[in-house]
Amino acid sequence: MGKTIIIGACGQIGTELVLELRKRKGVNAVIAADVKDEVPEILASGPYAKMDILDREAVRAYIMNEGITEVYLLAALLSATAEKHPDFAWRLNMEGLFTILDLAKEGVVKKIFWPSSIAVFGPTTPRDKTPQFTITEPTTIYGISKLAGERWCEYYHQKHHVDVRSIRYPGLISYTSLPGGGTTDYAVDIFYQAKLNNQYVSFLSSDSELPMMYMEDAIRATVELMEADANSLKIRSSYNLAGCSFTPSELANEIKKHLPDFKMEYKPDFRQAIADSWPRSIDDSAASRDWGWSARYGIGEIVSVMLENVNIDLLKTSTQK
């Protein structure tokens, strides 16, 4: 059996996905790869490759030489950072995808996971229970790159029989590593500040409802989709996926159940416009129908597990770098 590589392994999703895949496939069968020089301690027990996804020839050579047949391509700029560096975001979010899709077209790579996002939707999309197939007119460079990526995935599947699978993740909430520059990051930052200072200044307004998901659900969804029978997968662009939806004030109220003196202030910044263009909730019935998807974590469970596990030392280490 060929090996698996996760490119962008040191990020919020990658760290947890590598650990889960190593549990299932064996430590040496799963290579963590990232542009970062240093591998986070949590991944250090298995193979690590320093890799720039934009270096097409080096990526091709590595994948061929190592006998890699399954690729999870996570490297990207997220919504907020992408707005600051639109040219680079377009390059990073698109070029690596072509490198991997082409390797699959040539028969080297057998299966690809590539994540999309709720950012493919825009202000003209119905915002509640957003359907799988609906208007997609994103107004962020991140959303435009994800929508284009989805179309290319479907194209490579139809024209070249590439087995590529994708999920439109909502905002992901986790404590193993810090989030990487998205609009939904407030829903992670808040737990560090709650523990550190018992207060938080939200960069989104109190009533900005967004679709969110606990990381354990997101990793399980990824594994379930990748293990599903190819014939049952009717969508090769990207599947809608729902966890739970909440606003910053609802999240603050849930935190107050554990920390009654917790204080929240609201100072919306440029990320407010991004949040305003995204859905409030998602219809993921196609994922349920095709591969049996069902979320487990609601807001109450997320808050309990995050307050219990968030480690403020992670925040300090990241500020020092």
Residue 10 binds which entry of ligand SER, ligand NAD, none, CB below 5-8 Å type-dependent: ligand NAD
Written in H, E and C, the secondary structure of the chain is: CCEEEEECCCCHHHHHHHHHHHHHHCHHHEEEEECCCCCCHHHCCCCEEECCCCCHHHHHHHHHHHCEEEEEECCCCCHHHHHHCHHHHHHHHHHHHHHHHHHHHCCCCCEEECCEEHHHCCCCCCCCCECCCCCCCCCCHHHHHHHHHHHHHHHHHHHHCCCEECEEECEEECCCCCCCCCHHHHHHHHHHHHHHHCEEEECCCCCCCEEEEEHHHHHHHHHHHHHCCHHHCCCCCCEECCCEEECHHHHHHHHHCCCCCCEEEECCCCHHHHHHCCCCCECCHHHHHHHCCCCCCCHHHHHHHHHHHCCHHHHHHHHHC
14 binding partner (options ligand NAD, ligand SER, none; Cβ < 5 to 8 Å by kind) = ligand NAD
Options 111-119, 191-199, 238-246, 254-262: segment touching ligand SER (CB under 6 A)? 111-119
> Contacts with ligand NAD in 102-161 (CB under 6 A)?
115, 117
Question: Which position among 4, 8, 71, 236 is part of the footprint of ligand NAD (CB under 6 A)?
Answer: 8
Binding residue (CB under 6 A) for ligand NAD from 3, 5, 11, 210: 11
Told to check if 79 binds ligand SER by CB under 6 A, we report yes
- From 30-38, 83-91, 177-185, 240-248, give the range in contact with ligand SER by CB under 6 A: 177-185
For position 310 contacting ligand NAD by CB under 6 A, the verdict is: no
CB of 79 to ligand SER, least distance (A): 3
Please choose, out of 34-42, 104-112, 129-137, 272-280, the segment that lies near ligand NAD by the rule CB under 6 A: 34-42
**Would you call 72 a catalytic residue per the annotation?**
no
Active site residues: 142
Footprint of ligand NAD on this chain (CB under 6 A)?
7-8, 10-14, 34-36, 51-54, 74-76, 78, 92, 115, 117, 169, 171-172, 179-182, 184
- Judged by the rule CB under 6 A, the positions of this chain that interact with ligand SER are 78-79, 117-119, 142, 171, 182-184
